[in-house]
Amino acid sequence: MTQKSVIPFPFLFLTGSVKIYILASVSQQVNQASIFYATDRSATHSNRPATYYGAERRPRNSPLEYGAYTLSDRGQLAGVHPNGSQDSFFNSIADHVRNSLSHDVLVFIHGFNTTFQEAASRMQQLVRDLKFTGTPILYSWPSFGGVADYAFDEDSAAWSAPHLRRFLQLLRKHSGAANINLIAHSMGNRVLGMALEDLEAEKKPLFNEVIMAAPDVDKELFEQMAQEWVGKATRITLYASSHDYVLSASKRFHADHDRAGESDEILVVKGVDSIDASNASSDRLGHGYLFHSSVLADVGKLLRTDDAPNKRALRQAKSEEGPYWILART
């Protein structure tokens, strides 16, 4: 695949590589340890699971492919199992929901600079660290997976939003889940935000918990879209940080337009619980705090209890726009 972007993004956001060498047969029976996925990445049909899906986009007449992936004991991709039939896939989802300890579904939408392999690993970590006992589903959009391809990823995020919207509609219709929870990280919040914006509201919420961590979304755009989200989820939670150097770089890249995931002046929007996670432990660039202990602990409690922020271990603060919450120092 040729390089799409010639505009270097002004930071280096590296993720670990995973070396995989075995691709299981696509007809192999998917077991209970598998994690389901939906993707609008085009398959490379590589014989290595780590590169089975690339950054090319699927054809317009068939934008989504479904399946499940398996992981080794070390959390590495051990097999990718595409499911050619939409009906068969959602029947498998419904069976898993019925047979799980929790009848809930958790959908994770990854961020910028993330390959399918890396997204799969992040999904597994969330399932493990959140002690999630329901049905996990990774939604993987065609991020290029390179730090110099920010502009390409921005276009891909916008391109993917209607496909995520369609997937969520099908999931609500066919999964039989008691609750559907959504977690997005970084640029994945653009995909989710646009998908939610275009979904038709109903008399009761469409989703349970919607969690937006470190959103690399224009602050004013986030506020505008949020007006369309109200009533579509039981609760919407925004995690932001003043130590997110990735979003600081994104702000410069976007002519100094503030990002929704920055908390120097935290965004407070009606219908959204805003949480300042600046005190949370994170990676060296301060962008991956979703995957660290204190934020995971709060997300876990939120998913288990649906408690409002004042019933969790958070301190209330006030801005001119209204109250927000501060995560304890870790």
3-state secondary structure 72-95: CCCCCEEEEEEECCHHHHHHHHHH
Q: What are phi and psi of 164, to 5 degrees?
A: -65, -40
Q: Quick one: pLDDT band at residue 146, thresholds 50, 70, 90? A: confident
The SS3 of residue 169 is: helix
Sheet of 77-83: strand order equals 77-83, 65-71, 35-39, 135-140, 104-109, 179-185, 207-213, 233-240, 273-276, 322-327, 314-319
Q: Are 326 and 317 in contact (CB under 8 A)?
A: yes
- The amino acid occupying position 141 is W
Give the pLDDT of residue 33: 61
Give the pLDDT of residue 71: 87
Q: What are phi and psi of 91, to 5 degrees?
A: -65, -40
Instruction: Note the pLDDT tens digit of each residue in 37-85.
Output: 999 999 998 999 999 999 999 999 999 999 999 988 777 799 999 987 9
* CA 45/CA 1 separation, integer angstroms: 14
pLDDT at 244 over 70: yes
pLDDT at 217 over 70: yes
- Beta bridge partners, 57, equal 41
* CA 329/CA 91 separation, integer angstroms: 44
Q: What is the mean pLDDT of residues 244-248?
A: 96
Give the pLDDT of residue 73: 77
Q: Are 215 and 238 in contact (CB under 8 A)?
A: yes
Q: Name the nearest CA neighbour of 38 among 163, 169, 176.
A: 163
* CA 234/CA 300 separation, integer angstroms: 16
SS3 content of the chain, % helix, strand, coil (to 5): 30, 25, 45
Tokens of 289: 């705090």
Q: Which residue has the tokens 């996670």?
A: 277
* CA 48/CA 19 separation, integer angstroms: 9
* CA 251/CA 218 separation, integer angstroms: 8
The residues, ordered by sequence, that sit 6+ positions from 326 with a Cβ below 8 Å of its Cβ are 275, 276, 278, 279, 314, 315, 316, 317
Instruction: Note the pLDDT tens digit of each residue in 90-124.
Output: 999 999 999 999 999 999 999 999 999 999 999 99
Percent of the chain clearing pLDDT 70 (strictly above): 90
Give the pLDDT of residue 34: 85
Residue 91 backbone zone (phi > 0: left; psi -120 to 50: alpha; other: beta): alpha
- Which runs of consecutive H residues, i.e. helices, occur in the chain? 86-99, 116-129, 150-174, 188-198, 219-229, 245-253, 293-305
* CA 47/CA 80 separation, integer angstroms: 10
Tokens of 217: 């979304």
Instruction: Give the fold, CATH level 3, of 35-327.
Output: Rossmann fold (3.40.50)
The residues, ordered by sequence, that sit 6+ positions from 167 with a Cβ below 8 Å of its Cβ are 38, 64, 139
What is the pairing mode between strands 41-43 and 53-57? antiparallel
